[in-house]
Structure 1
Amino acid sequence: MEIIEKAPAKINLGLDIAGKRIDGFHELSMVMISVDLNDYLTFTELEEDRVIVESSSHKLPLNSKNDVYKAAKMIKERYGIKRGIRIVLEKSIPICAGLGGGSSDAAATLRALNRLWKLNISKKDLIAIGFKIGSDVPYCLEGGCALVSGKGEIVDCLTNSFSLWVVLVKPNFGISTRTIFKEINTETITRVDIAALKKAIISDDYEGMLNNMGNSLEDITIVKRPIINKIKDRMVKCGADIALMTGSGPTVFALCPTEKRADRVVNSMKGFCKEVYKVRML
């Protein structure tokens, strides 16, 4: 049997570091939303008891360092599955870009294997498994627009009716999330009012949403890579309503209310960066 699962990218409309926990993790408060830049994963059962991961990207490890491989192994070991699986990953989401590609691929693997092997794993248990792989995996299991808190394991879906064009610009380098988090100073970091952002989103208040968007990690990443600020400025000058870094970077996204405005931003950025995508919010 063979099934195909879609894994969409995400952007952070808001990312706040609320403090540091006793267990050493940072207390997160984020609003994420899915966009229609997708990886696709094809799952084929094998008679032999092994996990095989293949990918269209030569940049990805295909062993236990890969989140897709980790997710498959966890499901097999936890539920005593003796059948094997071949997973072919068609990669479109840039790697180490702040777009949650690896987490979304892992979430897609958990969803697909739950369905393929008829395991009937509850959402709560899937989230618990996903969190062991990465802090963004619980959100990626839900997708859509959501408030994410705690260490990333608490996901509350938000209703909204925004239908916006999103322009993504990925500079030609990656950023290690772990490296950025090591430099967080909770006393001096820029804070984002996530409660106000949530209120604006569920009230369909577009101006309120724009006014309360922000990313606590921008200041840290921009010191290392000033080009991110140049990208932001250029996108706004070209007609975007707002431009913001997503995750720990380096991808910057712009929101545009019309496709015409989005096209103008895309055309301006294509000569500036190679990886430019025009997508919609999901």
Structure 2
Amino acid sequence: MKVWEKAPAKINLTLDVLRKREDGYHEVEMIMTMVDLADRLSFEDIEENKILLESNSGIVPNDERNLVYKAAYLLKTKYHIKRGVHIVLEKNIPVAAGLAGGSSDAAAALRGLNRLWNLNLTEEELMKIGEEIGSDVPFCVVGGTALATGRGEKIKKLPPVPPGWAILAKLPISVSTKDVYETLNLEEIKERPKTKEMIQAIERQDFLQISQLLANVLEEVTFKLHPKVKQLKKLLQQFGADGVLMSGSGPTVFALTNKESKMKRIYNGLRGFCKEVYAVRLLR
């Protein structure tokens, strides 16, 4: 038997860091949504009792360091699966880009193996297992648009965002999420995201208001560590997007628009500045 799963990328519409927790993690409040840029995974039974992971990417590891492998191992040991699995991961989402590619892959592995191994686990059960892998995995299990709190693992579903495009631009640099959070000074945050207003704008399906309320408290930290990311954001703003924001801890910056002509103009304008540019639809 063989099953397939899609693993879409996510973008942050808001990202707020409230405090440092006693367990060392940060308490966050963020609204995330998914876009039509996705990795694809296939899962197939094999006779040998092992996890075999293959990928078309030369960057991501194919062993226990990969979150897909970690997800498979967790399910295999937790539910005493005595069969092997061959997983093929087709990477399309840029790596270490602030788009939760690895977390979405892990979530897809949980969903796919739940079907392949007939585990009949609920979404809530898969989310709970996802917590053990990474903070973004529970959201990626659910997908859509959602408010994430706690360290990112508490998920409240929201209505889908209105139709539109996101133009994603990733510079050829890697940003360490750990470094960004360690550099973040909570007392220096000047302006916090208006999370409640963003939820209301989503409920009203007000695209322009959503675009104007985009906010991420990690931006200033990443801008200091990597000034080119700040330059990229300014460039996107100059192209006349409805809203521009860095996703996660970066380095990907995205622009929102609900006009196809503007989407094409921004995309074409960026191509000369940045190699990795994607114009994708917001997923509903």
Partner of 2:71: 71
Partner of 1:163: 163
Which amino acid in 2 is paired with 1:99? L
Partner of 2:272: 271
Partner of 2:247: 246
* Structure 2: tracts of 5 or more residues without a match: none
Q: Is contact 2:123–2:142 with CA below 8 Å preserved after alignment?
A: no
Partner of 1:209: 210
1:235 Cα offset (Å):
1.3
**Aligned partners of 2:158, 2:208: CA distance in 1, in Å?**
17
CA offsets, 1:212-241, max 9 Å, x none?
220010000000111111111111211211
1:36 Cα offset (Å):
0.3
Partner of 1:232: 233
**Aligned partners of 2:153, 2:10: CA distance in 1, in Å?**
16
**Aligned partners of 1:74, 1:132: CA distance in 2, in Å?**
9
Partner of 1:138: 138
Q: Map 1:25-104 to 2 at 5 A.
A: 25-104=25-104
DSSP-derived class of the 2:187 partner: coil
Which amino acid in 2 is paired with 1:127? M
Which amino acid in 1 is paired with 2:46? L
Q: Is contact 1:239–1:264 with CA below 8 Å preserved after alignment?
A: no
Stretch of structure 1 that moved more, 21-30 or 85-94: 21-30
1:211 Cα offset (Å):
3.0
Q: Is contact 1:16–1:193 with CA below 8 Å preserved after alignment?
A: no
Stretch of structure 1 that moved more, 93-102 or 112-121: 112-121
* Structure 1: tracts of 5 or more residues without a match: none
**Aligned partners of 1:160, 1:64: CA distance in 2, in Å?**
34
**Aligned partners of 1:199, 1:258: CA distance in 2, in Å?**
22
Q: Is contact 2:212–2:243 with CA below 8 Å preserved after alignment?
A: no
1:278 Cα offset (Å):
0.5
Q: TM-score, normalised by structure 2?
A: 0.97
Partner of 1:108: 108
**Aligned partners of 2:115, 2:176: CA distance in 1, in Å?**
32
Deviation beyond 6 Å, 4+ runs, structure 1? none
CA offsets, 1:138-174, max 9 Å, x none?
0000111111111111111111451011100000111
1:186 Cα offset (Å):
1.6
The percentage of counterpart residues that share the same residue type is 48
Q: Is contact 2:103–2:136 with CA below 8 Å preserved after alignment?
A: yes
**Aligned partners of 2:123, 2:144: CA distance in 1, in Å?**
16
Q: Is contact 2:211–2:244 with CA below 8 Å preserved after alignment?
A: no
**Aligned partners of 1:241, 1:230: CA distance in 2, in Å?**
18
**Aligned partners of 2:30, 2:161: CA distance in 1, in Å?**
19
CA offsets, 1:224-278, max 9 Å, x none?
1111111111112112111110000000000011111011011111110100001
1:208 Cα offset (Å):
2.7
DSSP-derived class of the 2:241 partner: coil
Stretch of structure 1 that moved more, 201-210 or 162-171: 201-210
Partner of 2:282: 281
1:204 Cα offset (Å):
1.7
> How many positions carry a matched residue from both structures?
282
1:21 Cα offset (Å):
1.9
**Aligned partners of 2:232, 2:35: CA distance in 1, in Å?**
20
